[in-house]
Structure 1
Amino acid sequence: MTPPSATGTGSAGRPVPEPRVLCETRTLAEAPPVPSGVLWKLTESERQLDANVVRLAPGGQVSAHTETQLDVLVLVLAGDGVLGKGSGDATEPLTAGTLVWLPHGAARSIAAGEAGLTYLTAHSRRPGMRIGTRPGSAPSGHPGAAPE
Structure 2
Amino acid sequence: MSTSPSAAEYVGREQTAAAGRGPISVTWSLTGPARDLDANVVRLAPDAYISEHTETVLGVLVTVLAGSGEVRTPDATFGLEPGVLAWLPAGTTRSVHAGPDGLTYTTAHRRRPPMAIGSARPAEEGEAACLLDRVCPECGRLATERDARFCARCGTPLAER
Alpha-carbon distance in structure 1 between the residues aligned to 2:3 and 2:90:
33
| Match for residue 27 of structure 1 among 14, 26, 32 | 14
Number of aligned residues:
121
Alpha-carbon distance in structure 2 between the residues aligned to 1:133 and 1:99:
41
Alpha-carbon distance in structure 2 between the residues aligned to 1:124 and 1:30:
24
TM-score, normalization by structure 1: 0.72
TM-score, normalization by structure 2: 0.67
The 3 A distance-change label for structure 1 pair 45 and 15 is closer
Structure 1 residues 33-63: Cα deviation after superposition (integer angstroms, max 9, x where no partner):
6532100001111111111101000010011
Alpha-carbon distance in structure 2 between the residues aligned to 1:18 and 1:124:
15
Q: Is the 8 A contact 1:56 1:118 kept in 2?
A: yes
* 2:39 pairs with 1:51: yes
Q: How does 1:1-148 map to 2 (within 5 A)?
A: 16-17=4-5, 20-24=8-12, 26-32=13-19, 34-35=21-22, 36-86=24-74, 90-135=76-121
Structure 2, unmatched stretches of 5+, are 123-161
Q: Is the 8 A contact 2:19 2:43 kept in 1?
A: no
Runs of 4+ more than 4 Å apart: none
Task: Output the aligned Cα RMSD.
Answer: 2.1
Identity %: 48
Alpha-carbon distance in structure 1 between the residues aligned to 2:20 and 2:8:
27
Structure 1, unmatched stretches of 5+, are 1-13, 137-148
SS of the equivalent of 2:98 reads: strand
Larger Rg: 1
Q: Following TM superposition, by how much is the alpha carbon of 1:107 offset from its aligned partner in structure 2, in angstroms? A: 1.1
